[in-house]
Amino acid sequence: MKKETKKLDREVRTRIAPSPTGPAHIGTARTALFNYLFAKNPPGGGKGKFILRIEDTDKERSLQKWTDEVIEQLKWLGIEWDEGPDIGGTFGPYKQSQRAEIYKKYLEKLFTEDKAYYCFCTEEELENKRQEQMSRGLAPKYDGACTRLSAEIIKKNLTEKKPSVIRFRVENKKIKFNDLIRGDVEFDAGLLGDVVIAKNFENPLYHFAVVVDDFEMKISHVIRGEEHLSNTPRQILLQKALGFNTPIYAHLPLMLNMDKSKMSKRQGDVAVSDYHNNGYLPEALINFMVLLGWNPGTEKEIFSLSQLKKEFSVEKVQKAGAIFNVTRLDFLNGFYIREKDIKKLAELCKPYLKEAGLLITGQVSENTLEKIIEVSKTRMKKLLDIVELSDFFFKENLSFDKNLLKWSKMEDTDVKEALLLCLPDGRQATNKKSLGDLNPKKGEWTVQKIKEVLEDAAVEFNKQKNYPGKNRGFLLWPLRVALSGKQFSPSPFEIAEILGREKTLERINEAIKLL
């Protein structure tokens, strides 16, 4: 059974502790979000604290640029922390590389109490032992070869600078704890073997550093991915050995690919920056990530961050793996794009159009740009889509296969006749207006006026060709392709209104020449 979450007698403090060895992973962002939301609305009410800590004990691979990216991307998502390396706090420093003296103090305590020891076994020796154990059907673990070396041998090995690590003595006992998501969990610590906790007194490793940091920073709840579940017994043993309180644990479900395999950093777009750069909105990504494991218990699936701060509860987090469905993300992102104020959306689209060389300063007015964005946004799944959806508005000349102009079984001559009806000369015999007869200076070049002229021409064309009367595609399809050069685009009325009279007539004539 799950543990009942009631108000604690201590402040609720959660944390996210990424390693700056590469781009910020989408899984890290989801974990940060769940910790942030839990801190903002903890069980029993009140407000907790959310801490950002950088676990950069891997000195060779940890880079400042990745720390900067974590900070940048989490801020872009709207996830804010109360303490961290960029803003400080009561329990800093918040980078493990700056906490060496703190770790050293607790390592010395373990040595003094004979709870840790030097191990001089080589990698080759350890691997041979692992293989031998597995060949006998045993779970591989450290066999304790160095557990009781004499003080003389240890001193001699250290003097000779023989490679070594520091191991923690693991008790052979059952470790039980209650997980807020998974309920009661039990591990047999006897299967673990003595854990390596440091390279030396100056270089602690993950299991040891995280235990010390969580204690020193008064972390009350450790909310992290399921892949860390097997780490928990080791860390609980270390906490008990050091006399620390054990935080309350909650292990989030794995994030899975569509084929239900575990999402990996080596597979596709998994960095937050990938989604950011491709034009996913932060509010859409937040909405999507919270549904990767959290079920609100209703049909509702649109949640703002402010709503989530009030509605999120860890009791509604599921155990089963969460499928990372990009189609669902695209749906949510498209929704948020359509909800955007058009001026704000235009500003968000500008960098993509400029990067593609389409939007040149002064070439298009703000009003025209907003109209382009308005007619394109219903088909946008992400901001980057604006390039492909609207490039024809910015190009001087279009290039496309003339066969794209044909609707149904039309021949070249049929298409040509249809396009000619859009021009002044094509409708002289009927004394009806063509596109060329609309006067922009008189306010006639509007979507409504253009639509009236073209729909009337479509009816006329169908009569001439004996086509079905209500099927306007025989004229409107060739016209839309002539104006956009695309199989899919906004209506010809909207395109023509934005292009303007001269450009519209020019493109119709170019399409006729192509035939």
Binding-site residues from annotation: 265
Distance from C-alpha of 415 to C-alpha of 432, rounded to nearest angstrom = 20
Q: What contacts 24+ positions apart, CB below 8 Å, involve 380-383?
A: 380/334, 380/337, 381/330, 381/333, 381/334, 381/337, 382/278, 382/279, 382/280, 382/330, 382/333, 382/337, 383/278, 383/279, 383/280, 383/281, 383/337, 383/348, 383/349, 383/352
Distance from C-alpha of 313 to C-alpha of 34, rounded to nearest angstrom = 9
Cβ burial of 475 (10 Å; 0-12, 13-18, 19+) is: buried
Which one from 7, 174, 265, 402 is the annotated catalytic residue?
Answer: 265
Does a cis peptide bond (omega within 30 degrees of 0) precede residue 93? yes
310-339 burial by CB neighbour count: b if 16+ within 10 A, else e?
ebbebeebeeebbebeeeebbebbbebbee
Distance from C-alpha of 465 to C-alpha of 480, rounded to nearest angstrom = 19
Residue 265 annotated as catalytic: yes
Is the distance from CB of 220 to CB of 248 less than 8 angstroms?
A: yes
Name every residue whose Cβ is closer than 8 Å to that of residue 208 and which is 6 or more positions away in sequence.
Answer: 103, 106, 107, 168, 197, 198, 238
3-state secondary structure 346-412: HHHHHHHHHHCCCCCCCCCCHHHHHHHHHHHHHHCCCCCHHHHHHHHHHCCCCCCCHHHHCCCCCCH
Output the CA torsion sign for 289, 218, 313, 252. Answer: positive
**Residues pairing with 174 in the sheet:** 188
The two structure tokens encoding residue 190: 């006897």
Is the distance from CB of 280 to CB of 382 less than 8 angstroms?
A: yes
Is the distance from CB of 292 to CB of 324 less than 8 angstroms?
A: yes
Distance from C-alpha of 265 to C-alpha of 271, rounded to nearest angstrom = 8
Is the distance from CB of 25 to CB of 232 less than 8 angstroms?
A: no
The two structure tokens encoding residue 194: 């003595």
Output the CA torsion sign for 404, 406, 409, 411. Answer: negative
Is the distance from CB of 166 to CB of 117 less than 8 angstroms?
A: yes
Active-site residue set: 265
